[in-house]
């Protein structure tokens, strides 16, 4: 995606993005967030896009948030029902 031309040295942001990809592949998602978040403000649009892509892969699924919230509400309703009755 943001591969430099063969005769050019990668920029520091490109090197950091490559490091972030390696961290993702290693499974260290906490460190990935620390490394990739500043890259979303990079001047290089390809680095920004790559960092956003990596961060989107480790975000919590929005459906899981709603299912968790619904489960908590059902549990509260059942608890309330049995405590009051």
pLDDT value of position 39: 94
CB 46 within 8 A of CB 21: no
Q: Tell me if 44 is assigned to some domain.
A: yes
Distance CA 64, CA 8 (A): 43
Reduced to 3 states (helix: H, G, I; strand: E, B; else coil), residue 85 is: coil
Total of domains in the chain:
1
Q: Which domain, by its residues, includes 25?
A: 12-84
Q: Tell me if 1 is assigned to some domain.
A: no
Q: Tell me if 60 is assigned to some domain.
A: yes
Q: Tell me if 28 is assigned to some domain.
A: yes
Q: For 9-21, write each residue's pLDDT tens digit.
A: 888 999 999 999 9
User: pTM of the prediction?
Assistant: 0.70
Q: Tell me if 4 is assigned to some domain.
A: no
Distance CA 54, CA 48 (A): 10
Which residues of the chain are under the pLDDT cut of 50? none
Tokens for 3? 């591969």
Reduced to 3 states (helix: H, G, I; strand: E, B; else coil), residue 9 is: coil
pLDDT value of position 4: 57
pLDDT value of position 72: 97
């Amino acid at each position: 995606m943001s591969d430099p031309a063969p005769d050019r040295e990668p920029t520091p942001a490109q090197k950091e993005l490559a490091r972030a990809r390696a961290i993702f592949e290693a499974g260290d998602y906490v460190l990935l967030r620390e490394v990739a978040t500043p890259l979303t403000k990079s001047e290089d649009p390809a680095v920004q896009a790559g960092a956003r892509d990596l961060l989107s892969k480790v975000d919590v699924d929005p459906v899981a948030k709603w299912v968790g919230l619904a489960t908590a509400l059902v549990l509260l309703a059942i608890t309330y029902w049995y405590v009051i009755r």
